[in-house]
Every structure is written in C-alpha cells, then in structure tokens.
Copies of this chain bind each other. A is one copy, B any other.
C-alpha cells in the first residue's frame, strides 16, 4: 500500500467512524432527548470506548452541528439540481409530490424537532442552526432571484426573502404535521401545497 493509499484509507475510516457516532447519537437523542443522552451512552451505542468518541466529536453540541451540516448539504444538493433546470420556479412546483413525501416520511423528523427544541433554549445550538439556515437561504435566494428575473417577476431582496420564509415554513411545517396526523391522505395535501407554491412563487 502506498503512502497516499494509506492516507486515503485512514480518512475513509475516520469518515465511517464519524458516521457511526452520528447514527448512534440519532438513536440516543431519539430515545432520551438531547439532554438525557450522555456522550458515554452515545459512545457505547456506537460500539466505541468512552474516550475514543472524543477523537471525532468533542461534545454533544459538535454532534448536533454535524447533523445540521448534513442538512445543509442535503439542501445544497436540492438547490444545485434546481438551478440546472430551464425554469427553476416551475421545477419547484413540479417537484411538489416528491418534496411533500420527503418531508412527511422523513426519518430525520424526530431529530430535527429535537434540534429545533434545543435551539429554542440553548444559545450555542441556536447559533449553529441560524448560521446553517443563513447559508441555505443565501443559496436559495440566488436561485429564486435568477428564476424570477427570468420570468420578469419582482426579484427584489425583500420580496424574495418573504417568499423564501413562507415556502420554507410550509415544508418545515410538514415535518410537524407528520407528528400530529401521520395517516393524513397524501394526494390532497400535495394538491394544496402545489397551489400554495404556485401562488407564492409566481406572484
């Protein structure tokens, strides 16, 4: 094995270990809540010694930050796909069924609700969540501005920012609805969300 190959495989192994910790932490947070889960419980669930986990994350806050970062990457991928389209606004409307399904069926719901609850009382987590949200909004704003200019719609920052908040609220709210009414029939929700998106994006 060459020096480069070894370095590559070390980095890969570290990446696998990090993900192992994140998977274990997701289970522990879901079971005991952010406050109830300890670093030693998480390391145990990850099959590591209590000390070993600190090679990857130095606190529960760092684990939360990693989850939040994974969500930024997920949003970035969606926005990159969208900005490749000839008409990103129509793309968002056309994707309604997939995006509704993704939000009500997501296996990230419990974890996101836990992070939001923690952000509402813990300033360090609030800062992490807000910074990530700002970066995703900056990207989303650029996509929306270009797409609206293309269609000669009002693309001012104020209008686009309000639009963006309302669109994101709708999707965040679908996570919350999945907790309240998990058996709600999907097709009529999709139809209403599509009407809402079309009205907001094209006004």
A residues at B contact (CB < 8 Å): 30-36, 109-110, 113-114, 116-121, 126, 129-130, 133-134, 137, 158-159, 161-163, 165-177, 179-181, 184-185, 187-193, 195-200, 203
B179 pairs with A173, CB closer than 8 A: no
Known: A35-B32, A173-B172. A192 touches B166 (CB 8 A): yes
6 contacts across the A-B interface (CB closer than 8 A): A33-B117, A162-B187, A162-B189, A172-B177, A175-B176, A198-B199
Tell me whether chain A's interface is mostly helix, strand or loop, or mixed. helix
Report B-chain residues with C-beta under 8 Å of the C-beta of A203.
191-192, 195
**A32 vs B159: C-alpha distance when bound (angstroms):** 38
Q: State the Cβ distance, A76 to closest chain B Cβ, in Å.
A: 16
B171 pairs with A192, CB closer than 8 A: no
**A200 vs B191: C-alpha distance when bound (angstroms):** 9
Report B-chain residues with C-beta under 8 Å of the C-beta of A167.
192
B188 pairs with A158, CB closer than 8 A: yes
**A134 vs B166: C-alpha distance when bound (angstroms):** 25
A120 pairs with B129, CB closer than 8 A: no
Q: State the Cβ distance, A110 to closest chain B Cβ, in Å.
A: 4
Query: Which B residue's beta carbon lies closest to that of A33?
Result: B35
Interface centre among A34, A166, A172 (most CB of B within 10 A): A166
B172 pairs with A176, CB closer than 8 A: yes
